[in-house]
Structure 1
Amino acid sequence: MQACNLFISVPFSVRAADEPFGDPVRRNASPALKRAYVEAVVREMEGFSEDAEELAIESVTLGTGPTNALSAADLHLMLASAKRLFSIAPETPVYAAFDPGLLPAASLDELRSLGDPRPDFRYLTSDPNESEALGRPDAEAEMRESDALLERVGVRAIGMQVAVGIAGQTKDSLTRTLCDMRRPCVERVELVPLRPESPLALPDDDAAALLRHADEWLSEHGFAPSGPLRFARGEDNPYFGDRFAPVLTLADRETLSLGPGTASSVGGLAWSNTDDFALYLKRSADETAITERVSAIDEETLALRARLNALHRGEPIAYDPAVHAPLIDEGLLRFAGSEGREAVELSDKGRLRYLAVFKRLGATSS
């Protein structure tokens, strides 16, 4: 069986009116719309039923928006369908994002019914001014409610998302947030930049300086980098570590992603789903209707993925002036330390926008 990471998008939010992080999500969606979306995901999932027996799911990740945007009943339908269709062992880690204070015991039970729950909390900031700007309550006060539940049910490994680059954020306020979010059970930290077009975002050069400051703090407190914006004590969520890795053996984990705007690479093919939400709801069972940019994973694609994977892991790649010079001029790549002008790596500014950098590198090589 081929090892595989399963990702399921939850494109909803329950708090900020204009969520300035990551991919856009829908706020205050009706229960009927959320149920329609979950049913659409299940239909897409069922389209892989014939191939599912060949995939050994080694991790499950619920992301894009917080899982608490779904009711326990909707979450049950989604996860029960995954358990029915795919080979998922009881010890499989199940990662899911939640807002602090909004992790219901019923949702935690649903995660446990599928595998080993590993919640990630959208802590973002404990600074009152930054929280007010984001339209969010006090993260630390909210988190104490979730702490009590986690302790009661025995969850010992969690992750935290910390915002970097909020207008008005300083090294001191970022340090306070990092200190406040720190707990013995925190094993993963993701630094989350704001989208550059957000009016709440600092300029990227200023955000990059804060990113370097967070790097130093996390390193001093035992967290090693596991991606451009991720740090872990021990093993990180493999979905993020494997996103760009070339799959050469059965042990190398492929990626199957469900939902609009997601990307997958399974069985020698790479494809992405449409980001047209309405189309996805109507046609999720028809892979030809919702799939975009299908391509075979040939030698050229494997070579590209190897380069992107190296950059993702913080390693240099050989310098190609025609491809890399524009990105160096924009401050997104830099020449690697002792390699002279023979190799390049992501700059701190490039780490903030690494997905956009990788998209440009992929387009340039095609």
Structure 2
Amino acid sequence: MTKPVLDQNLQSLDARSRDIFRRIVDSYLLDGEPVGSRNLSRMLPSSLSPATVRNVMSDLEHLGLVYAPHISAGRLPTQKGLRFFVDAFMELGDLSDEERRSIEAQLKASGSGATLEHMLTEASQMLSGMSRGAGLVLAAKNEVPLKHIEFIQLEPERALAVMVTQNGDVENRVVDLPAGVTNSQLHEASNFLNAHIRGRTLAEARAEIARLKEETRAALDTLSQDLVEKGLAVWAGSESGLPSRLIVRGRANLLENVTAQADLELLRHLFEDLETKEGMVQLLDLAEAGSGVRIFIGSENKLFSLSGSSLVVAPYRDKDARVVGALGVIGPTRLNYARIVPMVDYTAQLISRMLR
């Protein structure tokens, strides 16, 4: 996990200010409640008066690290304060040998004789259970080699397009048919596709069909040509072949200990963001931009900025070291970052090894 250069004002904080700030954040991460000067003075090893602690808290507030949710309340860390804490103070924990064995056993059990989809779902569920947040996995379908595509006519102008990948995943899409398409043309288009896509990823298959445009025109009539293009375009989403498989488990965890209406409204925004898959590719961009695990706190992550949620995310890679997906944990800003970072990191490394 890379750490940015800290603001010079923050670097110059004295030991007393840093200690008080750390205790404010520790208290917030523990119970989510603001902490006041009187309670802080009792926590500190040195005998500082509540008045002295209040002065330090005022300085921290001036720097934008803490704020008072209402008059006469204690202080809570701001998003800037949480970022400062993560970058300057947080000591990452490590998974115990037992936790590592448990993660490995669960993923290997789910991956044995099962589809990649099942293994990723298990990874999302596992991250949710271990973090008490929501586990999130994004997979790039177009990286999986294809085995077979078939059209099955449902109605005169609608058909079911069935795609089978070499790892056993099966997907169905309903496609609109050009008027007048016959069953023989559906078979002809299926046969042409299967002669050229087997063993290729979706992106590679589209490039190959585009390269064979003249051959396609010579071998097929106009309606069958349209079907060939539909048979690949229906899964691709865009010319760049964006990832489209988002697996989220553990949303109920996010409802725990939520009492304020404002917090419920933030969660509603988050659930809407997770339901709307548009923009999910940004997760891959975020994960791929850095090496290893990345932490996004509140509005730092534009994808979930309305909900103010935090995201801990890491990429996983295929046998050619290409990023083919991302996984992580999303939840409130008081996630246990020190515990979740190594958990996400180890799970991403393990899935990468299993995909080789």
Q: TM-score range by the shorter chain?
A: under 0.3
More helix by share: 2
More strand by share: 1
Tell me the TM-score normalized by structure 2.
0.24
Point out the structure with max Rg over C-alpha: 2
Tell me the TM-score normalized by structure 1.
0.23
